Structure 1
Amino acid sequence: MATTRLKLEMIGEQETKAGNYFVSNYPPYSFWKPDNVAEALAVQEQPPAPGNPLGLYLHIPFCRKRCHFCYFRVYTDKNAAEILRYIDAAIAELTTYASKPFIGGRKPKFVYFGGGTPSYLSTSQLTHLTDSMKALLPWDEAEEVTFECEPGTLNEHKLTTIRDIGVTRLSLGVEHFDERILKLNGRAHGAKEIDRAYNFARSVGFPQINIDLIAGMMGDTDELWEGAIAKAVELLPDSVTIYQMEIPYNTTIFAEMKEGGNEIAPVATWAKKREWVQYAFGELEKAGYTVTSGYTAVRDPKTTRFCYRDQLWAGADLLGLGVASFSHVGGVHFQNQHNIDPYIEKLTGGELPIYRALKPTAEESLIRELILQFKLGHVSVSYFQAKFGVDLRERFAADLGELTANGYLEVQGDELRLNREGLLRVDRLVHEFFLPQHRDARYA
């Protein structure tokens, strides 16, 4: 068989270079513009689509230390008064939104505290924040409340507070279990803090505990990675999420690469990262886990879900609060101010802190759901036919044929299903469905 275009493009893609690899939305963020903010404001004045769930996200941008690979908006220099000022600004933001027509009497079906490090907050700050949020938009119908944590910020008292405020899914940013790897990559916590935090979390009784790992961190080896997976299996968390290391442009690793004139990142190749994720999935499956996406393995798919992911990827509304947060409301994307001072200043002045926005076309909305759901490893043809009136097999015949010819995709009745080789490459493969104007553009 002749080598296809996709195969040719992926040959030589082995070295890790700077740029965003993980696809979290569509169209790419670089197409979201300040000129479109009026569309974001307008959609908030419209009632919600019947039956569409609402989710709530809050970005907590504070950390003990910035990791060398981190590309999120974080701050390591804020004191208690500045943190409280930020919390009050986020509450003011939610206050403005709570009476908007797009809320339409809905209560959040899922709530997500992301970072940064949400667990950096003190117990009093957490209680003040969440009590205020619940008063504005009650969580009593939430199916899931997720809270990201850095192990070194946790003790039994704080974990008890986190559980008491209603968190059902605790996500520990472990990343690796080896002390040297953690230090080399700039993590704030050490290996000993992981066990302590995990044991505390288990004793408090969270319904679901997830641990995050990263395949391909600087300095990692086959032996160290295998040890990390053995440790993860020993802990038996409810779910394990594994990301493949990437080097976005706004990381300290990229800054050092640029200063040294290097194009190749000092991390594992893509082939090695896929090999390590494949190994991890295999070991987790031996231990009784089920792989449910390109990144996640769960102990019991019947009881362990990820509502934030599954509902958002099926078109749910998401109201994002906090600096640099993303929202998806009524099919319109928008993002808040990128820096903390203008974010707070906008709210202090009585304005919403929206920085840029985009109202996708109907075709772009279809593609967004298609590429996000492909990250689960399977897509239902009938779902897209019913929701968008499009037969995926006809609309994307050439793209699907390309994936099939390269051995990544199989058609099983109503489902388009990626095999394991396809799933390990999913963030590269979904680019096949991008419209031409988006394919070679900068993602972020």
Structure 2
Amino acid sequence: MKAAYIHVPFCEHICYYCDFNKFLLKGQPVDEYIEMLLEEMRIKMAEAPCEKMSTVFVGGGTPTALNERQLEKLLAAIRTILPYDGDGEFTFEANPGETSEEKLRLLHDYGVNRLSFGVQSFNDRLLEKIGRTHRREDVYRTISHARKIGFSNISMDLMFALPGQTLEDFRETLDEALSMGLPHYSSYSLIIEPKTIFYNLLRKGKLRLPSQDAEADMYSMLMDEMEKHGLKQYEISNFATPGYESRHNLVYWNNEEYFGFGAGAHGYEKGVRLSNYGALKKYIGMLRDGCLPVMETHTETKKEKMEEEMFLGLRKNEGVRFRHFREKFGVDMKEVFAGAIKEMTERGLLEEKGGSLRLTREGRFLGNEVFEAFLLS
């Protein structure tokens, strides 16, 4: 076990597209939540000792919505309770405009060495339309402060296929984002999820989205522009200067194990998928009673592990290595998934290259369809 995800489910404002486990910050038992989050880490580290942790990722919600006192308490505990010695990757998610210089200094002082900013767009009109509270100038100011304090490993999240967004809108956002010269960018198309504001608007016929062709054009432009700027696409939605790939996210895509701490967090330990209760009252109450707040567990079969190896690993541009698959599972990938490999290769969506099976450029546009082909009956 070498990775941990920590969930802070509080936000100053709820974005219209977000379906993560989150709560409006005002009026919530934030201090009590942090106490119990630390207790969960203590219990888990006592039950499942880990010699060294190479990646820690704090997400949400908005972790930097915590006040400075709460933030420092969380940071100090992470460095005390978890076996992270500072040599690995320590990431915090943050929002432009909501992350003060004081909070950035705290993060830096406690060894956070990677920031992931949820920018989404440089178009103020679109930011308002998707429920974001920051604006274009906040991005420049916050990233300038982060660099001044000493952060160099900075990632930016962007979105496309937003309501009313044109190809030119997205081109302008890409131009501004790339002009900042960051070493890592993530960019995702909007997916309308149940229990979101956008889902309700769509059901009422009040949400105008770009066509599928327009969405494909945006994704194609994204890949081309990133390549022009020397950023390697290493996963369907992620681009980096070589050496700045997200080590934590690669744990997921490599189908490796990790701890998950916090309300609604997921973990993968010794072949078992675990998910925590999302409701704050239930999460806090279980830990007050000395119990881990696990809602569900699922012990994976060998078949499920092989399926996940494929549809997680194929997200990476390098794909899934034939030799690695055989060493991990004791069987030949081409025997287990003969039908899927044949069909998707003939359709031009998969290719064999350098000892790996991987998506073609065309396959990246139809990734979900490819992944579904690897579900064994």
Residue of 190, 212, 229 corresponding to 1:270: 212
Cα distance 1:428–1:214, how it changes in 2: closer, same or farther (>3 A)? farther
Aligned-pair CA distance for 1:123: 2.1
Aligned-pair CA distance for 1:424: 2.9
Amino acid of the structure 1 residue aligned with 2:278: H
Aligned-pair CA distance for 1:269: 3.1
Instruction: Give distance in 2, aligned partners of 1:136 and 1:417.
Output: 39
Cα distance 1:237–1:416, how it changes in 2: closer, same or farther (>3 A)? same
Match of 1:283 in 2: 225
- The within-5 A match list for 1:176-191 is 176-191=121-136
Residue of 29, 33, 52 corresponding to 1:86: 33
Match of 1:337 in 2: 277
Aligned-pair CA distance for 1:265: 5.7
- The within-5 A match list for 1:292-441 is 292-299=234-241, 301=242, 303-377=243-317, 378-436=319-377
Residue of 242, 251, 255 corresponding to 2:187: 242
Amino acid of the structure 1 residue aligned with 2:356: E
Query: Match of 1:433, SS?
Result: coil
- The within-5 A match list for 1:187-202 is 187-202=132-147
Query: Match of 2:327, SS?
Result: helix
Amino acid of the structure 2 residue aligned with 1:399: A
Query: Match of 2:155, SS?
Result: strand
Question: CA-to-partner distance for each residue in 1:22-47, whole Å, 9 max, x for gaps?
Answer: xxxxxxxxxxxxxxxxxxxxxxxxxx
Aligned-pair CA distance for 1:274: 2.5
- The within-5 A match list for 1:223-238 is 223-238=168-183
Instruction: Give distance in 1, aligned partners of 2:163 and 2:110.
Output: 36
What is the identity percentage for the equivalent residue pairs of Structure 1 and Structure 2? 29
Aligned-pair CA distance for 1:77: 4.0
Query: Match of 1:278, SS?
Result: helix
Question: Could you say which structure has the greater relative contact order, defined with CA pairs below 8 angstroms and 6 or more residues apart?
Answer: 1
Amino acid of the structure 1 residue aligned with 2:232: T
- The within-5 A match list for 1:147-166 is 147-166=92-111
- Residues 1:256 and 2:197 aligned together: no
Query: Match of 2:187, SS?
Result: strand
Instruction: Give distance in 1, aligned partners of 2:337 and 2:189.
Output: 27
Q: How high is the TM-score relative to the length of structure 1? A: 0.81
Aligned-pair CA distance for 1:397: 1.3
Query: Match of 2:326, SS?
Result: helix
Match of 1:54 in 2: 2
- Residues 1:203 and 2:148 aligned together: yes
Query: Match of 1:152, SS?
Result: coil
Whether the 8 Å contact between 2:120 and 2:159 is mirrored in structure 1 is yes
Whether the 8 Å contact between 1:110 and 1:142 is mirrored in structure 2 is no
Amino acid of the structure 1 residue aligned with 2:43: T
Instruction: Give distance in 2, aligned partners of 1:175 and 1:370.
Output: 29
Structure 1 window deviating more from structure 2 (417-426 vs 182-191): it is 417-426
Instruction: Give distance in 2, aligned partners of 1:277 and 1:225.
Output: 10
Query: Match of 1:407, SS?
Result: coil
Instruction: Give distance in 1, aligned partners of 2:152 and 2:336.
Output: 42
Residue of 100, 103, 112 corresponding to 1:167: 112
Instruction: Give distance in 1, aligned partners of 2:350 and 2:207.
Output: 30
Cα distance 1:413–1:285, how it changes in 2: closer, same or farther (>3 A)? closer
Query: Match of 2:195, SS?
Result: coil
Aligned-pair CA distance for 1:294: 0.4
Aligned pair count reads: 376
Instruction: Give distance in 2, aligned partners of 1:123 and 1:330.
Output: 36
Q: Could you say what the CA RMSD is over the residues aligned between the two structures, in angstroms?
A: 1.6
Instruction: Give distance in 2, aligned partners of 1:395 and 1:138.
Output: 38
Aligned-pair CA distance for 1:250: 1.7
Aligned-pair CA distance for 1:413: 4.4
Question: CA-to-partner distance for each residue in 1:299-332, whole Å, 9 max, x for gaps?
Answer: 2x1x212111222333432111111000100010
Query: Mind listing any 5+ residue stretches in structure 2 that lack a counterpart?
Result: none
Query: Match of 1:338, SS?
Result: coil
Cα distance 1:155–1:192, how it changes in 2: closer, same or farther (>3 A)? same
Amino acid of the structure 1 residue aligned with 2:359: L
Instruction: Give distance in 1, aligned partners of 2:233 and 2:354.
Output: 21
Question: CA-to-partner distance for each residue in 1:279-303, whole Å, 9 max, x for gaps?
Answer: 012112111211111011112x1x2
Instruction: Give distance in 1, aligned partners of 2:61 and 2:375.
Output: 30
Amino acid of the structure 1 residue aligned with 2:291: E
Whether the 8 Å contact between 1:247 and 1:265 is mirrored in structure 2 is no
Q: How high is the TM-score relative to the length of structure 2? A: 0.95
Query: Match of 2:24, SS?
Result: coil
Instruction: Give distance in 2, aligned partners of 1:427 and 1:283.
Output: 23
Query: Match of 1:323, SS?
Result: coil
- Residues 1:95 and 2:35 aligned together: no
Instruction: Give distance in 2, aligned partners of 1:329 and 1:432.
Output: 26
Amino acid of the structure 2 residue aligned with 1:98: M
